[in-house]
Structure 1
């Protein structure tokens, strides 16, 4: 058969005449022949070919070799991973018992020939051995690639951001195709999220203009079209050096779409695709589909996060309101992790008896948490019109949360500050207590505690303290200091020490704490600092 012709056959025989005769038969059938006279020469020849990466397709091994038996040579070849897949056919001109033939099969040989044999029989046995080996190798390679695909899909599904998803998919595509790869997800808002395989990143750095050019190409694919699309982009239309520095090459794009029609593209160089097995293209298509499926909730969450952040920023202005007799600074920093949406908030309200301040956090990370945050903030302001006492407000907020959101809890610390006297009344519902920072370089927490909002538990009386003109009152959410694996009491002490050493002023205090603790946080951060204004 044509696909078995043209193969390379290693003939191992110590008899020169026999090597010549066997070689002549094989060459007439179109095979390339590599003759050697001993097992040692065979091992040396195979070692040399391993270095070049090209083994023979089959080995015909005489059973009675001078340095070791053909059975032992076969056993050694099958025991070594680099040569284990090489099919071995034993042959002998001597009469052997059936048990000896069984020895060849037990050693790992594919067949046994008794010579002299008809040329057609020799050729048929070689073809069968090569065909069987190719089928086994192809099946094993497919299993390996399916395993790679499965592992990649697990990594893609575990991604928490679109960037992580694209990076995991690109690395998997590179392993499947054995070439550099890049993956792009084009959001409905026009934003491009991309990831590249490590091999590509080592050879050439991602270029923003090149990625923009790719995004324009992707947009030309009809959005919402069913199934995946395998497209070849000619080199003149593809950014030069995208996969390899200074190389202009065609690119193969495999595209799939999310349910909402957002395109997901797996890009590899066409030169690499041509050298991969035919079934690899199908596996890359499955990877593109799985990536599109996993991208759908992340894209929706991206929209949800944008809505939540817009909501939070609209109700949490960057500048604190002005109050007579007080200097105030506020800060709000969203979580650095893109998939987190928190319910942190601050509030400052003028009442007839003083300025009411509050900092709180709704449990959970979702648009619902941000929405409930707005409800609590509005309720706090509304209730304060009737009675601004922190203890009364905490009880009313608790009942409101139980009634409208029985499955949610929240923490809040409420302080009523009288600018004229410095008197402060604090009610705490499961939150970090306020920190009073002294001008002398000391700081202490107000001893105020109480159960979370939403539990309906009895609440202690508010705590009273006095704020001196040189003191600063600091209120924060736990996103500033809470670190996984670190006891909260340790983090609170770090916060107290850092605040005590901060420069004077409310703005400097907030900025110093954000510089010390606010980088790469997994939760939102809200801060409010105030002090009495002299004069």
Structure 2
């Protein structure tokens, strides 16, 4: 232990003999230690409690075994059983109890060493130095373990972030825990957008002006020029935008002289991140730089994943909004209403789709769902919808369309499956032909409060299995044909048949009209769903001669 280190070491000497107490104190002071004297165990406990409150516990306690109010062994046990003092090294000494059994009692009580006095000053100094050195090593190891634990917890929070804002918030809070001071975290998106968060110990509730955003972006980009991985730098206070940290905090650390930036990015061209902490002229170096650097690297890796997902989600939502319009063209003699609700979880992008197409044989309605939740699912959804529009020009027969779409998936997307329900409706007669490919069958809802499913079934698209003939039914002007995706009713742990029955009951009790039917179903069943929801409702309008006279026999 160096003289400088000894100069910062405080030794508590507990001895009821004044001459011995002062002699030990003199020996220790000559070795560079600060010395605190106590004449009894009670005095020692009072002194330790005062120092605990002030945050200045001694580094070693040198305790006489034969104290008048409590033996040195009992005092040691009491200290070791009290959490604030348990780590304090205790060295017993005695001029009377010098047998090997006495040494064993001291060690069993929790003491680190046992001195027999009188002893040479060099021996006393060496034993105390060894005890202080061991305690310091243990303290450093515990601090290291604490930093690693906090780092692991923060990395878990960073990896669990669902968006760049949550990522910046987790990184800022974690940096503050590592450094025991204020911190700020910044993530720059591909479009230059700055996502930032301040720890709870921040200087102000908001940035002083918008120019601070641009200044931080420039500093981060300049600091990361030519660097990949983790890069550490200090920005002088005049160059650092005001408002992130206190210029002169009240904890005695002095004046703000700069900001320490831990900069990181996963690879060249990836989004850079920055974890910033203040540097004060009287504040001690935190000694946690490498931990903050590791956190910055973990944040950069998480940022790349999140920002890539944000881009993918934006593309998928653009596709969905482009190819699933909120309103469909109306065919004479029919009224069609559609509804689409994305999943409440922003991590999910579905492949739900619907279509309403005017063909040479009537109105073709369709609803389906590509299995999976990803940009790939949304892309395949668009392909199916385009293929359906092209195929129905040549032949709108539902069974034929299902077969051709099944072949298209097998050829171009052999790993993909999809559910689909097609209904070809003659607006004049109400004659309807339904082909189902693993989807929830259509529900016919009457104005008289009844509702029943059309008995139509068949294998999923993409499996290459034979298709059954279409199911035929006749819609009356008082009937509404409802097509839905399973996101409306499917609940984990609940049998699908039970969910379908619940849907049938709610639909039967819904107000008249196709729009009212869809809105009622969404209001009753569509809250908090983890999957996309699509609905298509159709009814015949009695504006043709045949329907005014009643529906014709389909034959």
Scaled by the length of structure 2, the TM-score of the pair is 0.86
| 1:362 is aligned to 2:370 | yes
| 1:524 is aligned to 2:532 | yes
The alpha-carbon distance between structure 1 residues 143 and 512, as it changes in their structure 2 partners (threshold 3 A), is same
Structure 1 CA distance, aligned partners of 2:95 and 2:271?
A: 68
Give CA deviations for 1:205-242 in whole Å, capped at 9, x if unaligned. Answer: 6x487798346403432256323233455667445377
Asked if 2 retains the 8 angstrom alpha-carbon contact of 1:448 and 1:463, the reply is yes
Structure 2 CA distance, aligned partners of 1:513 and 1:235?
A: 59
Asked if 2 retains the 8 angstrom alpha-carbon contact of 1:177 and 1:273, the reply is no
Structure 2 CA distance, aligned partners of 1:423 and 1:243?
A: 76
Asked if 2 retains the 8 angstrom alpha-carbon contact of 1:200 and 1:243, the reply is no
Aligned to 1:298: 306
Aligned to 1:81: 83
| 1:340 is aligned to 2:338 | no
The alpha-carbon distance between structure 1 residues 391 and 290, as it changes in their structure 2 partners (threshold 3 A), is same
Give CA deviations for 1:252-280 in whole Å, capped at 9, x if unaligned. Answer: 432211323311122344469955741x1
Deviation at 1:362, TM superposition (A): 0.6
Aligned to 1:430: 438
Structure 2 CA distance, aligned partners of 1:209 and 1:481?
A: 49
Deviation at 1:95, TM superposition (A): 5.6
The alpha-carbon distance between structure 1 residues 219 and 344, as it changes in their structure 2 partners (threshold 3 A), is farther
SS at match of 1:213: helix
Asked if 2 retains the 8 angstrom alpha-carbon contact of 1:9 and 1:31, the reply is yes
Aligned to 2:549: none
Deviation at 1:251, TM superposition (A): 4.7
| 1:409 is aligned to 2:417 | yes
SS at match of 1:116: coil
Deviation at 1:121, TM superposition (A): 3.9
Structure 1 CA distance, aligned partners of 2:473 and 2:182?
A: 65
The alpha-carbon distance between structure 1 residues 530 and 267, as it changes in their structure 2 partners (threshold 3 A), is farther
The alpha-carbon distance between structure 1 residues 33 and 486, as it changes in their structure 2 partners (threshold 3 A), is farther
Aligned to 1:473: 481
Scaled by the length of structure 1, the TM-score of the pair is 0.89
Gaps of 5+ in 2: 544-555
Aligned to 1:486: 494
Structure 1 CA distance, aligned partners of 2:183 and 2:456?
A: 57
| 1:389 is aligned to 2:397 | yes
Structure 2 CA distance, aligned partners of 1:89 and 1:281?
A: 35
Deviation at 1:349, TM superposition (A): 1.0
Deviation at 1:142, TM superposition (A): 0.5
Deviation at 1:185, TM superposition (A): 2.0
Deviation at 1:359, TM superposition (A): 0.8
Asked if 1 retains the 8 angstrom alpha-carbon contact of 2:353 and 2:534, the reply is yes
1:12-161 correspondence to structure 2 within 5 Å = 12-94=14-96, 96-161=98-163
1:222-301 correspondence to structure 2 within 5 Å = 222=221, 223=224, 225-232=227-234, 237-240=240-243, 251-259=259-267, 260-270=269-279, 274=283, 277-278=286-287, 280-301=288-309
Q: Which moved more, 1:422-431 or 1:329-338?
A: 329-338
SS at match of 1:82: helix
The alpha-carbon distance between structure 1 residues 149 and 100, as it changes in their structure 2 partners (threshold 3 A), is same
SS at match of 1:402: helix
Deviation at 1:33, TM superposition (A): 2.9
Deviation at 1:188, TM superposition (A): 0.1
The alpha-carbon distance between structure 1 residues 268 and 423, as it changes in their structure 2 partners (threshold 3 A), is farther
SS at match of 1:453: coil
Structure 2 CA distance, aligned partners of 1:48 and 1:443?
A: 80
1:207-218 correspondence to structure 2 within 5 Å = 207=206, 213-214=212-213, 216-218=215-217
Structure 1 CA distance, aligned partners of 2:207 and 2:461?
A: 48
SS at match of 1:452: coil
Structure 1 CA distance, aligned partners of 2:51 and 2:450?
A: 76
Cα RMSD for the two superposed structures: 3.1
Asked if 2 retains the 8 angstrom alpha-carbon contact of 1:438 and 1:472, the reply is yes
Aligned to 1:169: 171
Asked if 2 retains the 8 angstrom alpha-carbon contact of 1:87 and 1:129, the reply is yes
Structure 1 CA distance, aligned partners of 2:479 and 2:285?
A: 71
Aligned to 2:550: none
SS at match of 2:483: strand
Asked if 1 retains the 8 angstrom alpha-carbon contact of 2:270 and 2:304, the reply is no
SS at match of 1:4: helix
